Structure 1
Amino acid sequence: MPKPGAGKAYGSSPSASAKLIVFDLGNASGRVSLGSLEDERLRTEEIYRFVNGPSRLGQRWYWDVLRLHAEVMEGLRRAATILGEAPATIGIDSWGVDYAYLDASGAVMAPMRHMRDPRTDGVYEAIHRRLSRGELYRRTGAMTIQINTLAQLYAERREQPWLQKAAATLLFTSDLINYFLTGLRVSDVTIASTSQFLDPARRAWRPDVLSDLGLASHFLPPLVEPGTVLGPLLPEVRSAAGLGAGVQAVAVAGHDTAAAVAATPFAPGRRAAFISAGTWSLLGREIIAPDLSDASLDSNFTNECGVGGAIVHHKILCGLWLVQECRRIWSKTAALDYADLDRAANAQPPLAFVFDPDDPRFLTPSDMPAAIVSWFRDRGLPAPEGVGPIARAIYDSLALNHRHALDDLARLGEGAIEEINLVGGGVQAALLAQATSDAAGLPVLAGPQEATVAGNMLCQLLAAGAIADLEEGRAMIRRSNELATYRPRERSAWETASVVFRSLKAASR
């Protein structure tokens, strides 16, 4: 099994005492943190945060990648004011699937499209006429979801076929930022595995998947493992940021899910599942080899590459996107923060309204509260009205969706799941954590909130040789964070609700 940093290193080994500059680029926001290893504990300090999100032009959705680069440079300048000439390493993680093309000269060829762009609507009907769902899964272990890179490339070939013909290199978001900083065109294997054209067992591209669909593959870059040293910053970048010469970029777990799982403090000897809760809920387990079984395919689980040769076997579920979009609409008429929404939801009785969060209508609605209400009315059901009832319906439905996926996971795994590790921004939503425990009938260990940042740091420490392996890093996570524990209660009502929810999911298949 590959070890972290296996393969070619593009720069010299960084100092084990180097400071860590962490860029965590999320769907809704980006943040920059400074980290260090002190007394066998991870120390972090957030030094910059900025808003991120889609830019819409008519029916098309984009990322403003040039603004993203400007924000990264501002983060580097702020780090430089603190670090001075001190040696440091830099790690970039981001969301998966989305990509940009470089031409032969290294220029970005076109605006970067957003995963929620509707161009991929219905595209798998065409894909599966050429390559069956089962065969695609056997080659890539990837779940079918319309945000996948493969679906985007197929839709793009119909709309803008010249892009793929002229492209020299395809880079995912974290890879692209690394390119801007170092000039190096490589892809971290964790984010490459979100594409649906990578073999997770061999941790290698599957160009045959692309060719069987009539797509080009000449633009696929070399792959690197998390912990690979990419090398120094470009002179112009270092000069503009004011950083010293001893700063090197490291390929961390470029996909934020892989970074979060790397820092998940699984208790030794326990059969645990993870939920990385943010815009999406990523629910699954860490395994040593891909699960390419028919059962895994039928349950629509994906196999992505993790740190240290591991496989992150999980399902992508709708997450706090529902809350984020409701808040966006409600904030037009009233100043509401997430704490306000949590209080409003807590004031409502549980399980009064339950819906399927994965319904396609919730992927890109212009008015999320209206979309939720319409889900009920389309079925002739009473609908939640107002902030509190809708927010409560979201949290309860997300929790029941977690339970539904956990039931699938237990059937695939080696015995029943014993506990759940909840990490990521969703740790702040205590109601979601408690509801998930209630729905699943399992204890939920919540934390760390900044799991992605911590996983990014662990990869940088692996590159520097400051820690020997991931288990040593996870022990540090356990020492460095206090985990909140939620235990199940009100079991009868939640068991009844889970049966109802299961029927809703079956009806939507």
Structure 2
Amino acid sequence: MKKHIAIDLGASNGRVLVGDLSSFEVVHRFVTHNDQILGEFYWNIQGLFSEIKVGLRKAFALYGDAIASIGIDTWGVDYVLTDAKGSLVSLCYHYRDSRTDGLIEEVAQKLGGKMRIYEQTGIAFQPFNTLYQLRAMQRDRPQTLAAAAHYLSVPDLLAYWLTGVMSNERSHASTTQLYDPRTGTWAWKLIDELGLDRSLFSPIVDSGTVLGPLTVEVSHEVGAPASVVVIATAAHDTASAVAAVPSAEGETPLYISSGTWSLLGVELETPRMDEQALQSGFTNEVAASGKIRFLKNIMGMWIQQECVRHWEKEEGTEIAWKTLDEQTIACASYQGWIDPTDQRFLKPNTHGNLMVDRINSWCDEHGIGRPASKGEYMVAIYRGLAKAYAKAIKDLESVLETKFSSLYIIGGGCKNEILDQWTAAETGLTVYAGPVEATALGNLIVQAWAAGGISSLQEGRDQIRAQGMVKVFRP
């Protein structure tokens, strides 16, 4: 069986993997670096591309002609603009940059209200959506925007740098709040009314589209055979992860893709773009299959990660996750919790505005005793996440007029067995935790399907389920 390379970039780290649905190997890991420059927050996109090429060299040195294709997935909403010849006209902003603060209401007023935007895009209102990022550039850097000829999402750009082919992959385009999931095209009315040039946006390609071979230069640099192609996999990492939910054919699984974010939802045949869905905070993004990922964005392990980063910097030593788990269990009697959906938890640590301080302020405002130790901070975060999951599931059941009896938790966050068990207890659902490497597996599933190695996406799910990569947690 041919092997595939999955390039999986998360908000904290990136990996280059080689394998198939039965086994794979991580050949290169790296930090997805970002920087604050003069008060603004950017991705080091060229550094990420360099790390990807390091991983590709390692992959081809190990497996050579056995590799058939390469696919890239990343977080959503972020993008670059290029000129007519494909050169960057600006740095790549990070979705946590503050330039979009306050723009939701401004843009909603300009475009006829939130419901009108939701009726055309089905996307929940988050300040980091591409819609508001482009509006901020229009306001703050109009000359830069005027110089742009092409919009490319982060995975679109990386694929372009590998192949010389520009395209906009569908699952990622659907995160922008500039895409219409009913028509499968860009939301042209909103784009026109925002004053953006239609020519910025390329034709949208489906997950599984073969983009083409590597450029001669890249092929030579990484030692790849001429037969290797780049495939537009499910380029949004959540779309890749959901492709690997180990559900049976005909099942409509309730899932949480758990990592820096927690994405909770189901797959639907058609979008839900009504008032109830809007008020419940659900979003309509496109799945690898072309179906709709009807889900809610909930802050995930980001809050935990920022606390740990602060403590490690303060103490000058690495904190072992096993030790932190032991401290959390020892503090389980602490009854504090936070609401992870509160927007104060979105931003990274800065001098004078640490995540631990924001947790303290939330507890103060709600009459809850502040955490007094690392373990208690973790309890507050995990219990808050479990409560947020339970509320989102109730909202989802109300919108869809259905009841769920089980929940799949996939992705790196499912390794947190404390949260898995507390989620089962808080929701009253049986939790199936795994696979841990759902995003990479989903990336590989789409590539295998595009290359003819499997006959359907469901066959990929069936193979994962048969391998038993799941732990069960009962209420």
Range of TM-score over shorter length? over 0.9
| Residue number among 86, 89, 103 corresponding to 1:123 in the alignment | 103
Q: Is the 8 A contact 1:270 1:418 kept in 2?
A: no
Letter matched to residue 322 of structure 1 = I
Query: Deviation at 1:363?
Result: 1.2
Q: Are 1:198 and 2:217 an aligned pair?
A: no
For the pair 1:33 / 2:17, whether they are aligned, the reply is yes
Q: Which amino acid aligns with 2:62?
A: I
For the residue of structure 2 that corresponds to 1:373, the secondary structure is helix
TM-score, normalising length: structure 2: 0.96
Q: Distance in 2 between matches of 1:301 and 1:168?
A: 32
Match of 2:72 in 1: 92
Q: Note the alpha carbon deviations across 1:166-185, whole angstroms, 9 max, x for none.
A: 11111111111100000010
Tell me the equivalent position of 1:495.
none
Per-residue CA deviations over 1:94-150 (Å, capped at 9, x if unaligned) read 001000011111111111000000001110111111121001000001010011000
Match of 1:420 in 2: 407
Residue in structure 1 matching 2:322, options 294, 317, 339: 339
- Are the equivalent residues in 2 in contact too, given 1:31–1:50 (CA < 8 A)? yes
Q: 2:43 — aligned with what?
A: 63
Q: Distance in 1 between matches of 2:230 and 2:13?
A: 22
Q: Which amino acid aligns with 2:79?
A: Y
C-alpha distance in 2 between matches for 1:53 and 1:67:
8
Q: Partner residue of 2:8?
A: 24
Q: Does 1:486 align with 2:466?
A: no
What's the counterpart of residue 500 of structure 1? none
Corresponding letter in the other structure for 2:400: G
Q: Note if 1:376 corresponds to 2:363.
A: yes
Give TM-score, length-normalised by structure 1: 0.90
Give deviations 1:55-105, integer Å, cap 9, x for gaps.
112421000000000001001100111123444200000001000011111
**How far did 1:394 drift?**
0.5
- Give the secondary structure class of the aligned counterpart of 2:363: helix
Q: 1:455 is matched by which residue type in structure 2?
A: G
- 1:74 corresponds to 2:54: yes
Residues 1:46 and 2:4 are matched in the alignment:
no
Dislocated runs of 4+, deviation >3 Å: 267-271, 378-381
2:252–2:267 contact (8 Å) kept in structure 1: no
Residue pairs, 1:466-485, within 5 angstroms: 466-485=453-472
Q: Deviations over 1:193-241 (max 9, x none)?
A: 0100101122211121122123333210111101111111000000000
Q: CA deviation at 1:268?
A: 4.4
8 A Cα contact 1:271 1:416, kept in partner: no
Paired residue total = 468
Alpha-carbon distance, 1:481 to partner: 3.5
1:344 alignment partner AA: Q
Contact kept in structure 2, 1:188 and 1:251, CA below 8 Å: yes
| Residue 114 of structure 2 is aligned to residue 133 of structure 1 | yes
Specify the SS of the correspondent of 2:267: strand
Q: Secondary structure at the match of 2:332?
A: coil
Alignment RMSD (CA, Å): 1.3
Q: Which moved more, 1:268-277 or 1:187-196?
A: 268-277
Per-residue deviation, residues 454-475 of structure 1 (Å, max 9, x unmatched): 1100110111112111111110
Q: Determine if contact 1:271/1:418 at 8 Å carries over to the other structure.
A: no
Partner deviation per Cα, 1:150-192 (whole Å, 9 max, x = no partner): 0111111111012222111111111111000000100110000
Matched residue of 2:289: which SS?
A: helix
Aligned position for 1:434: 421
Helix, strand or coil at the partner of 1:171: strand
Give the deviation of 1:272 after TM superposition. Answer: 2.8
Is 1:277 paired with 2:264?
no
SS in 1 for 2:60: helix
Give the gaps of 5 or more residues in structure 2. Answer: none
* CA shift for structure 1 position 305: 0.7
Q: Is the 8 A contact 1:89 1:248 kept in 2?
A: yes
**Percent of residue pairs identical:** 40
Q: Which secondary structure state, in structure 1, belongs to the residue aligned with residue 199 of structure 2?
A: coil
**1:197/1:351 Cα in 2 relative to 1: closer, same or farther (>3 Å)?**
farther
Match of 1:505 in 2: none
